[in-house]
Structure 1
């Protein structure tokens, strides 16, 4: 059996928490080639050491997945996590989290993909 790709999910906590929940659900499908450990904060007020915890989780991951919503490109936490991933040499990809709307890619966070099962299996497999 092939080892699953370990994915760190970066998302706009204030606006797009449900996207993280959806991608975790997809990671649990029988044919999913990736796994996600939920390292996100449980509340909106960040812990003092959240950056240390995020960096450690990014180091343990194989790839960083940015879930893109309307305001993600301005979310400070996402921008910090993307910087950490770049510092750690981790590949980064982005998926558009919603069907409708106009979305701006997060700077320096890799290619922007549509969110569908075929794309997820291709980029996270």
Structure 2
């Protein structure tokens, strides 16, 4: 089977650096998945952005949310989580930028599905999610 395709959701205003580090480290990890950088490259009207992102999420096996300390203000992330659920794409979160179990999570992301940035834990979560949602 091909490596799972992952859509990365993150707070563009606060966690771009962590997103770049996560993507870069993923290429050197033993974790079998491929991340596509399908972020919108330009500012779009809301309806165009939603249509574009919904299509991209629908082409993935799962969505990973990079959860920083300012997630409560990241409305786009909450929308991406809702889009993933609508498309039956499983979701889990990874704490970044000093966030932890006491940090706010975006709407729709479960605390028990949010883990530390540890590649063994990420690999286990990917394996688990490959048995859920549209991946069955």
TM bucket, shorter chain: 0.7 to 0.9
Q: In 2, distance between residues paired with 1:96 and 1:56?
A: 26
Q: CA deviation at 1:112?
A: 1.1
**Residue 39 (structure 1) aligns with:** 38
> Which consecutive unaligned segments of at least 5 residues does structure 1 have?
none
Q: Which residue of 2 aligns with 1:90?
A: 89
Query: Do 1:26 and 1:32's aligned partners in 2 also have CA atoms closer than 8 Å?
Result: no
Do 2:7 and 2:63's aligned partners in 1 also have CA atoms closer than 8 Å?
A: yes
Structure 1 residues 18 and 6: CA distance shift in structure 2, 3 A: same
Aligned-partner Cα distance in 2 for 1:113–1:106: 14
More moved, 69-78 vs 85-94: 69-78
Maintained 8 Å contact 2:10/2:67? yes
Structure 2: unaligned runs, 5 residues or longer:
128-136
Equivalenced residue count is 122
Runs of 4+ residues over 3 Å off in structure 1 = 99-102
Question: Which 10-residue stretch deviates more, 84-93 or 19-28?
Answer: 19-28
Q: Which residue of 2 aligns with 1:104?
A: 104
TM-aligned CA deviation for residue 124 of structure 1: 2.2
Please give the secondary structure, in 2, of the residue aligned with 1:28.
helix
Let me know the Cα RMSD of the aligned residues. 1.8
TM-score normalised to structure 2 length: 0.80
